[in-house]
Structure 1
């Protein structure tokens, strides 16, 4: 009992200036741990634990921050100390992080190589458990001016229709498009369906005057460019 009480009092007895919110103000968010940042989002804990301890428990339950970000709403609200509001706030925070990672600021370097696309999108797509077909829309200088998830689920040429891809490209006045999708298996090797979709989209792009620059498949930290593979 004494040990448990001591552990529970560790955070409660931390000086005012060393608590997560105060530490953020004092040293900046970049110097805070995942647990501290999550504790700030949670704001409050339970009757028997602080927000910091609740954050520790969540990260331990789902192994790490990435695991927690993939948790469903139902999984979160089943946990003691996490109600509807906290679950919604965490979903919103993680989604903002994904969006910020996925779309570069205009000041960043333009897309020149498939590696640039992979570096940009692996953090967003590699962890997903379903296939997401995403388009990056570029201007004449190859800066990304927009991003759109066209479809979620197993890819099929009848579902990933050129109309949806190039409707968005035209709406954004894009000069070119890069398509990509993830393989939840972690293996980015293109399937026959992937190759067929690529040919269809490339031909459609030629008709409307918007080039399909590449189709990149994202795996677990790896990627395959169908342009580099000779399918363009």
Structure 2
């Protein structure tokens, strides 16, 4: 059953136009993406079934190609479209962050870092390199480790910062366990990096720890 065959009052496209995307349920948003249902199941019912089957919208988005395509109503074309949408979203967040000062939009920074790091299976140490007006010069994963640790080398951080002529850094790493609470090891490496960078007049402005559903800021905790 297609979107156009639904009763007008339950058509998510019309609801989005009338009330905005925020007014739609997860199933309605997914239905717009899917466009068509299957035999005996309209598109909204299919969308709701898929979300329940995967456990959440996020699980559906992060499913492997094999897992995604195995569900009735999905397939390779939908998988490719979804991956393109997710990549465009991440690039949008990145461009938004790079257009202005990273510290003037901490929630935007958290959202972007979460999109980059949250679903990684290994711990990754990510750095935003900033100029003297706190605009993003470059952002990259500098170290990547095992499922529960990443080796971080202050000398390499200093070297890369000088190569990019950075004046300040924002650090971030993920906890694959899903728990965002910083460890004592996280605090120790932040102090070591801060001491090393201070020798070349580069400041650490914040360190974010990305968990499953939360992002913790060292600056907000008063640790930087």
TM-score, normalised with respect to structure 1: 0.69
2:66 is the alignment partner of 1:74: yes
> Which structure: larger Rg?
1
Match of 2:150 among 152, 156, 168: 156
Q: Deviations over 1:78-112 (max 9, x none)?
A: 21221112112222323433454566446767527
Q: What's the CA shift for 1:176?
A: 0.8
Find the counterpart in structure 2 of residue 14 from structure 1: 7
CA contact (8 A) 2:124 2:150 kept: no
Find the counterpart in structure 1 of residue 26 from structure 2: 34
Does the residue aligned with 1:141 lie in a helix, a strand or coil?
coil
| Structure 1 segment 33-72 matched on structure 2, within 5 A | 33-72=25-64
Q: Deviations over 1:137-175 (max 9, x none)?
A: 323233445432334443332x6675367537744x532
Q: What's the CA shift for 1:34?
A: 1.9
The root-mean-square deviation of aligned C-alpha atoms, in Å, is: 3.9
CA contact (8 A) 1:162 1:200 kept: no
Find the counterpart in structure 1 of residue 190 from structure 2: 198
How many aligned residue pairs are there?
A: 219
Does the residue aligned with 1:149 lie in a helix, a strand or coil?
strand
- 2: distance between equivalents of 1:117 and 1:169? 26
Q: What's the CA shift for 1:59?
A: 1.0
2:88 is the alignment partner of 1:96: yes
* Residues 227/13 of structure 1: CA separation in 2 closer, same or farther (3 Å cut): closer
CA contact (8 A) 2:3 2:43 kept: no
Q: Deviations over 1:2-54 (max 9, x none)?
A: xxxxxx89984413x75233443444333332222212222333334333332
TM-score, normalised with respect to structure 2: 0.71
**What are structure 1's unaligned runs of at least 5 residues?**
1-7
- 2: distance between equivalents of 1:226 and 1:23? 41
